[in-house]
Amino acid sequence: MRLSDLGDRICILGPSNSGKSTLAVAIGDKLGIPVVHLDRLYHLPETDWLPRGAGDFLALHDAAAAGDRWVMDGSYSITVPQRLRRATGVILLDVSTLRSLGRYFRRSLVQTDRHGGLDGGRDSIKWEMIRHIVVTTPGNRRRYAEMFDSLTLPKIRLASAAAIRQCYVDWDLRRR
């Protein structure tokens, strides 16, 4: 599949720490379209990932989804239906739980500035997040796969780190 087949409103879905934000930035740079990181809309800036009120998040999400052009990364199940109604294409990152866990530790321990991170915020290792990745993510992966299979939009599933790397090559994307 060519990147242009996905249109001007691209949803990137997948488990936590699968590389959604990094891919979104690379696509946004390539196509010259705005990138929306749902983590930044859901969480308050300048915090250690404290959530906003649900109404505030939904308003921010819906305003972003109303835009003409975007690459939006993040899953947040409550907002998927309205996002998919506006989307012109979908990318599903379907990486292993072990890979997600490794990326979580790397970004929490090593990275100081990362795509999708909170402005003025910080990352720290949290047992709650480890549990989410190890216990909740496998069920989420199955749910994402079922939803993905039912979509009629242009779509691509990247089911491994190698597939994601190849996508960068095929679409001539650059990491920054």
End-to-end CA distance of the chain: 23
What is the residue extent of each domain of the chain? 3-170
Query: How far apart, in whole angstroms, are the C-alpha atoms of residue 157 and residue 49?
Result: 28
CB within 8 Å of 29: residues ≥ 6 apart:
173, 174, 176
- Chain-centroid distance of CA 56 in Å reads 19
Q: Which two tokens stand for residue 142?
A: 């199955």
Residue whose entry in the numeric block shows the structure tokens 């691509």: 156
CATH architecture group of domain 3-170: 3-Layer(aba) Sandwich (3.40)
Strands (E), the chain: 9-13, 35-37, 70-73, 89-93, 155-158
In tens digits, the chain (176 residues) has pLDDT values of 999 999 999 999 998 888 899 999 999 999 999 999 999 999 888 887 789 999 999 999 999 999 999 999 998 888 999 999 999 999 999 988 888 888 888 877 876 666 666 565 566 788 888 998 899 888 888 888 899 999 999 999 999 989 999 999 999 999 87
